[in-house]
Copies of this chain bind each other. A is one copy, B any other.
Amino acid sequence: MAQVVILGAGVMGTAFSTPLADNGHQVNLVGTHLDSDIIEEIHEARTHPRLRVRVPDQVQPYPYDRLAEAMQGAELVILGVNSLGVDWAAQRLSAVLPPDVPVLFLTKGLAGAEQSLHILPHVLREQLPEALRNRVQLAAIGGPSIAGELATRRHTCVVVSGSDKPLLDKLVGLLRTPYYHVWTNTDLLGVETCVALKNIYALAVGLAIGLLEKEGIAVNGAAMHNTAAAIFAQGLVETAYLVEQMGGRQQSVLTLPGAGDLYVTCQGGRNSRMGRLLGLGVPYSAAKRTHMPDDTIEGAELALAIGPTVADMIGAGKLAAPRLPLLQTMIKIVCADAPVDIPWDAFFVGI
């Protein structure tokens, strides 16, 4: 039985307590400064407002200003903030994280800085005090995992990724249940690149929903699955290119972190809803402001986070523009309110 802290009480952070609790671990679930209502509701009613399930009894809710207390005796910290919350988390953890307590990332994203892209575990590491920075062990979960399904114990398959195989094996032991199937994967760069990019490519696949709605169902009932599937495939091809550029392995693209996670992310959720609006012809900034002001749309956040850096890297010859037509299109749509114009003839080049 282990003592675990989950930082971030959103749907994924909270859902992750289910397999932990089922394995008998004690979970301290610490909300961020944006999670106060959630923590209060769990405290009072034992339910999560968005996850809409009963939170397991072994989960103790904490507000963020009691993080130090929640950390007492913790053997593992799980980071469940959204991609915008990593800096905040680094700041908070700097004061309370013992150097021998590993941090497991549920948070997905990439950061762009100085003509290179960085995975979030490395972004966190850079912001920790020097004594911690060189010692803390980092790992990440990757794979198709809708939070509401994990919280209701649907069969879910993921990898736990990191460079330290004994740590990964220990994490598998903590996490694996009859419904939560966990494999180890030592390609942290590849896994983190895949699971971040899936958000922007799911946003792209979602365009087809809006394009179809705009054009209308065909006389014979035909939808636009061919269009969506081609965008899906181009997304995987670009993911493979970027994984290679990041120093990751192709096998991660073909399996749970790449194809599996992109598939599940295309089945609905916030990226798909925003994709639909964009496909309908609503400019990104208007769609965000008018229709989804309170939602974090991870695909759009990724475009905003890496858009300028990707442009710089292409300009400097560090990334090949012909290998990334869809990424560039999505960046233009999100960062510059460009209309949707899918560059079909630029797809599948150089492969």
Instruction: Give CA–CA (A261, B155) in the complex, Å.
Output: 24
Q: Does A339 contact B (CB under 8 A)?
A: no
| Residue interface mask A189-225, B partner, CB < 8 A = 1 | 0000000000000000000000000000011111111
Is the CB–CB distance between B144 and A220 below 8 Å?
A: no
Is the CB–CB distance between A53 and B157 below 8 Å?
A: no
Query: Do A263 and B344 contact each other (CB < 8 Å), given the known contacts A219-B52, A254-B237?
Result: no
- Of A65-73, A126-134, A227-235, which binds chain B? A227-235
Is the CB–CB distance between A220 and B52 below 8 Å?
A: yes
Q: In the assembled complex, how far is the CB of residue A8 from the closest CB belonging to chain B, in whole angstroms?
A: 19
- Of A33-41, A96-104, A145-153, A160-168, which binds chain B? A145-153
CB < 8 Å: which of B226, B251, B256, B348 contacts A149? B226
Q: In the assembled complex, how far is the CB of residue A185 from the closest CB belonging to chain B, in whole angstroms?
A: 9
| Residue interface mask A244-282, B partner, CB < 8 A = 1 | 000000110111100111011011100000000000000
What B residues does A219 contact at CB under 8 A?
Answer: 52-53, 152
Is the CB–CB distance between A225 and B53 below 8 Å?
A: no
CB < 8 Å: which of B51, B144, B222, B351 contacts A229? B144
What B residues does A226 contact at CB under 8 A?
Answer: 144-146, 149-150, 154-157, 264
Is the CB–CB distance between A230 and B156 below 8 Å?
A: yes
Is the CB–CB distance between B222 and A152 below 8 Å?
A: yes
What B residues does A223 contact at CB under 8 A?
Answer: 146, 149, 154, 267
Q: What residue of chain B has the Cβ atom nearest to residue A347's Cβ?
A: B157
Instruction: Give CA–CA (A248, B339) in the complex, Å.
Output: 39
Is the CB–CB distance between B148 and A220 below 8 Å?
A: yes
Is the CB–CB distance between B260 and A229 below 8 Å?
A: yes
Please name 19 pairs of A and B residues whose Cβ atoms are closer than 8 Å in the assembled complex, sorted by A.
Answer: A52-B220, A53-B218, A143-B230, A144-B225, A144-B230, A146-B225, A148-B222, A149-B223, A149-B227, A150-B226, A152-B219, A154-B227, A155-B224, A155-B226, A223-B267, A226-B264, A229-B264, A236-B254, A240-B254
Query: Do A255 and B237 contact each other (CB < 8 Å), given the known contacts A148-B218, A181-B344, A344-B155?
Result: yes
Q: Does A320 contact B (CB under 8 A)?
A: no
Instruction: Give CA–CA (A222, B149) in the complex, Å.
Output: 5
Interface centre among A145, A150, A232 (most CB of B within 10 A): A232
Is the CB–CB distance between B181 and A230 below 8 Å?
A: yes
Instruction: Give CA–CA (A183, B225) in the complex, Å.
Output: 19
Is the CB–CB distance between A218 and B152 below 8 Å?
A: yes
Is the CB–CB distance between B348 and A218 below 8 Å?
A: no
Q: In the assembled complex, how far is the CB of residue A19 from the closest CB belonging to chain B, in whole angstroms?
A: 12
Instruction: Give CA–CA (A214, B51) in the complex, Å.
Output: 22
CB < 8 Å: which of B155, B230, B259 contacts A157? B230
What B residues does A145 contact at CB under 8 A?
Answer: 226
Q: Does A95 contact B (CB under 8 A)?
A: no
